[in-house]
Amino acid sequence: MGRLFGTDGVRGVANADLTAELALGLSVAAAHVLGEAGTFEGHRPTAVVGRDPRASGEFLESAVVAGLASAGVDVLRVGVLPTPAVAYLTGALGADLGVMLSASHNPMPDNGIKFFARGGHKLPDELEDRIETVYEEHRSGEPWERPTGEGVGRVRTYDEGFDNYVAHLIGVLPNRLDGLRIVLDEAHGAASRVSPEAFARAGADVVAIGAAPDGLNINDGCGSTHLDQLKAAVVEHGADLGVAHDGDADRCLAVDAEGNEVDGDQILAVLALAMRDAGGLRRNTVVGTVMSNLGFKQAMEREGIDLVQTAVGDRYVLESMKEHGYALGGEQSGHVIILDHATTGDGTLTGLMLAARVAATGRSLADLASAMQRLPQVLVNVPDVDKSRVETSELLASAVADAERELGTTGRVLLRPSGTEPLVRVMVEAADNDQARSVASRLADAVKSALG
């Protein structure tokens, strides 16, 4: 697998890349590293462990719990809950760490392990690196120091986590959702119980689809990566809107009453205006990425809201928000972070806040989302090229300059080397699809010529 920790924990095919032995070993290593860092100083440590409904999560959860308890950590098993719920409970219960078993929007055979620090925040890179180093050292034969007797960790089921998390979601809503009919697509994932319950308690008339997980059907033709079922259901039931989550419910995409997709940029625009009007948009700023649609940037400019753009990835959005004290940020994929109420992207919270804006204004989601006009965006991957020369190729720079002159202020060009593959991503936005495709095709040819 190369380096174990990626941008979102450790992820791979369960029982092939991500084995029970690896899950157990990483958990023991995490306990030792956090202990050495002083996280457990002066008290008996506690961990919150949750998972999504994947079949492999059953044995991987057992391995994680065994590893933590064998290292002297008491464990609260919260069962199947969304990633942001595990992050929230880690903070709310004063736990020393949280562990979530999920591969998010990946297909069912995959799984992953994500660690949260005290407070429910993502572990710093240096601690992840240290956990990996310690794990490798002990995998090669150096024995662990293990507690015995009353020093071993105790394990108990914490069923109250479900109600605690739902109560938190309801408690931060600015208004109720009475009068709204909402279709929820839960991707047969971790929010299959939580999200319908939260929306119903908030007053919505809920129609739930993709909410019958059997361990094998997560993300299978449903959820935020497959919106067709949600679009059809919203129209069929005459709903005011639809909300789709991914497997671990840290993302949210939406559908308006006519069955049209409302993506992460549009959701961010609606929430930015809502928070500004309520006085909650700190420093009058929203955080996006370089992939945010140009229409989003133009909408924020028209509304007098500042936009900060980071590298692609929710971790970079969150870093910028925490460093500068911003309240709202997110990605086109629907990974939205509302930092006053969550330490990570929370799809259920995002959906609730979006619905609350519809209820409070009496305006349709389509009308609210029209605050930004999404420009056609074409993305072309150019494989088998020397991505290291993107910044230095004069031929490529000339091609980009020509494209930018053609597009003027109504479009945008972005060339981005892949972080994991030998390819360059060409992104073009333009006033219409034909122009965007034409410019993207020419630039892709230029990339092949210049870097092939």
Residues annotated as binding site?
104, 246, 248, 250
Beta-carbon count within 10 A of 340 CB: 10
Closest CA to 20 of 49, 57, 75, 46: 57
- The DSSP bridge partners found for residue 428 are 378, 413
The torsion of the CA quartet 245, 246, 250, 256, rounded to 10 degrees, works out to -30
DSSP state for residue 307 in the 8-state scheme: E
Q: What angle (nearest 5°) sits at the alpha carbon of residue 172, between those of residues 168 and 177?
A: 105
Close Cβ partners of 213 (under 8 Å, ≥ 6 residues apart): 53, 80, 186, 188, 189, 192
Closest CA to 185 of 244, 126, 132, 240: 244
Here the tokens at position 89 are 């409970």
Here the tokens at position 230 are 């949600």
What is the DSSP secondary-structure string of 229-272? HHHHHHHHTT-SEEEE--TTS---EEEETTS-EE-HHHHHHHHH
* Residue set of the binding site for Mg(2+): 104, 246, 248, 250
> Are the C-beta atoms of residues 336 and 267 closer than 8 Å to each other?
yes
Catalytic residue among 27, 104, 320, 333: 104
Catalytic residue check, 104: yes
Beta-carbon count within 10 A of 171 CB: 8
By annotation, the residues acting in catalysis are 104
